[in-house]
Amino acid sequence: MKTKIIPVTPFKQNCTLLICEASNRAAAVDPGGDLERIEEQIDKEGATLEKVFLTHGHLDHCGGAQALARKYHVPIEGPQKEERFWLDLLPEQSVRFGFPAASVFEPDRWLENEDRVYFGEEMLEVYHCPGHTPGHIIFFSRAHRLAMVGDVLFAHSIGRTDFPRGNHAELIHSIRSRLWPLGDDVTFIPGHGRTSTFGQERKTNPHVADRFIS
């Protein structure tokens, strides 16, 4: 599976294009905006977009999802149903942050913990990781030891919890109970910034390193 990270929006959110190398069918994870850049990458790879996957409902992650899905006639899968709270606020979010207008939408499929999603010949596991937002999920490829974690975890940091319905204790629990068991060797693509591994963050992340467990 090939991965192409495409920073989009003024927040430099990492939209990730996942490409099944056997079929050249693709999924776009968190297309928050700047759709021309995403479409250019799809064309460059000669890929066929099959799905749009969403980790959560913040504007910089899902603001372009509806338009992209409509253009390519593909379904949107994710996030978890508690994220309806944020999807209903998309018009307000776009005004507040000066983004292009975004309308309320509902994904074609809400996802739950331990669901699976498919594109081409690839399969991703789904884990519900609330804390940053109530319905946040992450996508995990066991075959490729790769996770798309949205704004749950960053290199040397974690997601904010000062937004409505954020919960710091819940976020820490999500990271330690849902991410760490996947394995220290797992590389993760965060919603912003550089990639890292779960093992590296368990050693050095000042918020969730093992040495801080009481």
As a whole number, mean pLDDT of residues 140-150 equals 98
The CA distances from residue 188 to 15, 64, 161, 200, in Å, are 13, 23, 20, 11
CA 119 to chain centre: 16
**Residue for token digits 């969403």?**
54
Strands 146-150 vs 187-190: parallel, antiparallel or unpaired? parallel
pLDDT value for 122: 98
**Structure confidence at residue 1 as a pLDDT band (50, 70, 90):** very high
Phi, psi of 124, deg, nearest 5: -120, 140
**2-212 has CATH 1.10.3720.10 classification:** no
Long-range contacts of 108-112 (CB under 8 A, 24+ apart): 108/75, 108/76, 108/77, 109/75, 109/76, 109/77, 109/78, 110/78, 110/79, 110/80, 110/81, 111/77, 111/78, 111/79, 111/80, 111/137, 112/80, 112/81
Is residue 108's pLDDT more than 80?
yes
Q: Dump pLDDT digits (tens) for 48-62.
A: 999 999 999 999 999
Is residue 214's pLDDT more than 90?
no
**Structure confidence at residue 185 as a pLDDT band (50, 70, 90):** very high
